[in-house]
Structure 1
Amino acid sequence: VVGDDDQSIYKFRGANIYNILNFEKAFPNTEVIKLEQNYRSTKSILNTANEVICNNKGRKEKSLWTDNEEGEPVHFTQFENDFEEADTITAEIKRIVESGEAGYNDFAILYRTNAQSRLFEEKLILRNIPYKIIGSVNFYARREIKDILAYLKTIDNGLDNLAVKRIINVPRRGIGLTTMDRVNDYALQNEISFYEALTRANHIPGLERAASKITPFVSLMEGLKSRLKQEGYSLSELIDDILDATGYLRELEEEGSDEAMDRIANIDELVNKLVTYEENAEEEPTLSGFLEEVALVSDIDNLEEESDNIVLMTLHSAKGLEFPYVYMCGMEEGIFPGYMSIHAENPQEEIEEERRLCYVGITRAMKCLSLTAAKQRMLRGETQFNSPSRFIQEIPRYLLNITAPAAPKRFAPSYQSANQPVYQPYLAPKPKQFEGANMRTLDYGVGDTVKHIKFGTGIVTGITKGGKDYEVTVDFPKFGTKKLLSSFAKLVKINS
């Protein structure tokens, strides 16, 4: 039996780390041989990985070592925001490649969630840098499968802009390119997702008539989301409802061609796989879990060794791969580890799973590893302020090369010893306060305790006025500082 408990990262797919940890109890007199020599990474990278993973209590004691050179220290940079993070990383990659030190296929940008890829994609396109996202699903290359997947992704969270744009006119709804462009421009201007912009169609200038075509689509999506929350409602029923409510299946049946019949058969096969997932899931099956499991099936198969592209992928997708240059981005509390893990019923177990994922990411690097974080980033249309990840804090200072962003006075770490945490939490600038008559438009003010439907209770720390709405800054104990638009946040004052 061969296994590495430190790389057990698929709990959400039913993997059980205790199969390894308790193996000797189940099979007495087992001889254990530790394979600790590493042939991939430098000493510096391995020492960093060891310092992180040793914080897990649920693991077998071991420490990777190598005969490879010491190598350069691991780099860490905390940027002002996620835009600066993406811009600097892509600029650095282009500089290294143009210097002749490496090719584009020597680089990998790793992140915790797929949503983090958008800014990197935009910057790569802007710099004319070839890239490939690993994580798309080979099995779902056929058109009809991509369509249904796009519906599922849209229902799941609505943050995948490409998925929403793919299905907004599938089947045809008479929404033209001009309308799409206006919605897209509105989304970019307001830093929200394309789907969120669709929900505000009635407020987008120039969409008065077209909004009547968008509203039924949004209503359909919201209705399906509501059904998904109903107890006993299965994922296979969800696909049936998508096919029925959209008329997608009806169009294929009416077409009646061999190609249409093949497409129906492909959809049936998708339903089969979904039912299998529901029946075999050791934890409660979820739409998110299904989408992630399907994506992982062919992640590595999608990588063409001969292509000269930068690779972008989630940390889960990176397992089993190696690259000379690796960038691990979004190393922040609430991102990696995520809030769901931090505030889980059993947080220690979830955090240890996240730490193993971090260990896997670090050990993908052969020559150079860069860890990055942002003080603030946009998440689901809201500005989120994050402190550096606990995994960064666990790395002794002497192992890190702390580099500052190009902009002056944006990077001011405070060190007290070589082994103390690298960064102190970032404090956002205090917003301008609103007083007098303007405050009467809200039923709460700075210092009041309010309740948010998702983030729970928090304290209002600032209120600023935009063109048409108030921007309210709230400090939520469990979720950190959020900047919310008052009309959408629906904050309710709690009487003290």
Structure 2
Amino acid sequence: MQTARSLLPSVAGPGSVTACRFVLTAEISSIYKRHGRVRKIHNLLFVPDLEAAARLNARLAAIGNIESDGRPILGLDARNLLEILLEQAPEGFLVPAHIWTPWFSLFGSKSGFDSIEECFDDLSSHVFALETGLSSDPDMNRRVSALDRFALISNSDCHSPGKLGREANIFDTDFNFFAMRDSLKAPGRGFLGTLEFFPEEGKYHYDGHRKCQICLDPLATRQQHGICPVCQRPLTIGVMYRVLELADRQAPFYPDGAPGFNSMIPLSEILGEILGQGSATKGVMEQYWRMITRFGSEFALMLHTPIEEIRARSSPVLAEAVDRIRKGRVIRKSGYDGEFGVITVFEAGELAEVRGQHGLFAEQAVRGRKQKADRQALPIFSRPAEPVVVEPATTESGLNPEQTVAVTCDEPMILVQAGPGTGKTHTLIARLARLLAEGGIAPTRVAAITFTNRAATELADRLARQVGAMAEPVFVGTFHAFCLHWLRQQRPGLVVVGEENRRLLLRTLFSEADRHGFAALQKEIVDYFLERAVGATEPAPTAAVRCYLEGLTGRNAIDLQAVIPFFVREFKGDAEFRRQVTGQVSHLFVDEFQDLNSSQYELVRLLAANAKIFAIGDPDQAIYGFRGSSPRFFYDFQEEFRARRITLTRNYRSGVAILAAASAVIDHNPTPDHQPRLPLVPRQDLVGGGEYYWAASVQAEAEFVVRRIEELVGGISHFSINTGRGGDQPGRSGFSFRDIAVLYRSSRQAQALCEALTRRGIPLQVVGVPPFYMQDEVKPLYFWLRAAAASELAMTAADYLDFLRDLSGIGATSLQRLEASLPLGDIPDFFQQAGRIELSAAARKILLDVEAELDEARQQMAQHGVVPFLSRLLAGLDINPALPEVARFLDLVGSFGRDLGALARYLQRNAGGTVYDDQAETVALMTLHAAKGLEFPAVFITGLEEGVLPWRVPGRGAAGEGDIEEERRLFYVGLTRAREFVALTGAATRPIFAQRSQQQPSRFLAEIPAALFTRVSPDGPRRKNPAAVQLKLF
């Protein structure tokens, strides 16, 4: 906004240079994973005007934080960044920045690519210019024939006005954005060349280790096999080495008319060398301004003024220096591993006599010197072969011996205890596939039950990939879906009442209840169903509950929480219903068996009378006791049905140290059958590691998490590298953002973590929270899209009423009449049914108008896409299009194109709480419960404090032993989400319910052997690894 207020569009004609012109640019840091490797690429974006910049900003703001100073960090593929630029600012262009820098560049040795096409894929033709960076020059780049088609530009790292022009681009064209762009597209037609540093001055020209003070040229690095001779760790490979890896020429090649370049040393540095003083000292600056006044400008002196004129008008010493620089006869001490190189003109001692006897303007010329040899001729390198990764051995079927037993066992009742990372889902699918392949059982008689829709979708997809069309008739779904499948055959049209429709029905049945009374009614209903799911006998309903149940019956409806108990009751009491179900279910597979509650276990018991059961789970991962689940059913099933118990212990996920820590923790929980646990066996050569940090406050805890994340991704900026927060961290780099999860016991812990990550510009996703589009500013757009897609994704009465509440003209009385008269459940013909209800004339007209508008909207969206329609709708709904949430929503909508149905399904699926997106290049923040079933290379578990983990509700006293055991299982689940790295953190003070509480470390920390995890001191070094230290810039 400040830029927009300060600048005016350029309207002057060609050749008018009366004012300083600015080109709108931004540098974006993309950190993401592509082709199995973490990539860190900096790209420059150029746009022609402020309107294009605003469109681009709106789109990028929907993806991540672009308000951080300097260089925003996005978990966005560089190819997709280019695509967004072409969509939002088609006249703009993208230039990969400092393309050879090791850490953050297109060809960087640490995290870059080997070709333009590998990075930008199908959009590679839209890239026509490359920025060489301080550590390379055109001569180096022109040894790579793949770069022949590109213009090579140079820009200053101008952190202050004095740095402007140290590297620059020279044009001879019209003075506007489009002429500049077009001349870069066709070098030689207006783009004349660049002014450059000598590349050896760049911080990454040669290879080395700054900490070890080792600097090596590429040949020496090759002889050392890339290993530092001092610390025996990999060297930071510099630009020259990397150029030689990709070069296919022994010398640079320039076609006729190709732009040239000049290498320079800043005048202040030349004068400082001649005078023997620092370049910013008073004496040097006096001479500097004297030369500028005399010759017009630094460029005029260094590039154009004849040497004899310099000698006559200033000094033979300065003239000799300029002459040597123009001819490239300088002394080069190459930079390496973040240390700037040094370029000088004169040999040591060469100036002593002149300075001592004659001063700067001595008439005596400097005595002759031998010309320094040209830059060392270095051969083309072949790239070292990638190491071969040996996968753990399995049988030909892809199963280990224990999994094979589980898949091939012929017992009718099988109970598999599958520890974390042991291939539970793989084993379940393999057994299902084997059963279907044998052909003795009709697929329609096979049912697989999971606990979440996400898990059911994954299981169904994986089964289909393995057995093809045979998977289609198999029932795969949740317990609720299974029960409803059969109940609706008995009672067609049965309506399921979820949370929204429950509120709607309660408002109809208890219209006189105030807000507090209504909340109490809801709690009474929920408590009744929870007790019914947990208890051995059905609880007696209160008067309010009985009224609600009667209201459901009269509407052919069933509460979602009553589906399973109702199925069990029908199964027991209705012989015909029981015959139908048992006749069609001969094989039942149950996933996550440890999470069953009493109703679910009763359902399995009833089906086990006629069906074969394959149950799989892990009682040590039972974490849903708050909703009635209990691991005791796992053991009851084995005892009651004499099930064959098979244990999977070969862990394919976590490193040795992580598994040892997790096992030590869970061993403090007793087993109901009093049998010792079989230890998890690591099946990969991964040690893994962990550390523990006790912070002074939640803010300090969050800052520690941010610091470690920077290390894990190898630094997110050059500042990270230069301050030891990334880069050369042994065993602590090579991760992408999506490899990292931050877990916590309560969602209240997320705020401080989100603030710290956002401040540092690290992209993140918070899982399980209401999505941004359910906020008041954007919610009307959500309901408009849902209503427009109602023919593909039915809406309930509650949905339509929420939609109508955002429209002006429909009053409270009309809404109450609609609530009382509309049926529960999906309403495919809402407007027809609403038209038969007695409403005011104004309300009727609004409904007719909305129906017509929705019909028109569907046609417009089918022809032109969803975004144009929504953009026009904003004014009618009085929604500010400049709101970040609105821009973000339009970006989300745009990714679905014209597919309104797919968009509506996505929005509905996430409306209750955001679902983890495993493709997003973001750090994931979620509760420990939400992390169940996921895995990450690196995991942070925060809030390891008494009262937080283990959780204790304030005011309820100490937690019982059963509660502690479940909290320990929850911690165990968190630990076993990690593959390579775990960090445990806690805070000495934490705000809990608006009170600042003094916290004590969690008892679970004492259960981890001290030798396994490193304790990190807030003020001193870590015990095992040297602390990252502040490094010198020069």
Structure 1 length normalisation: TM-score?
0.50
Higher RCO (CA < 8 A, seq sep 6+): 1
Larger Rg: 2
Structure 2 length normalisation: TM-score?
0.25
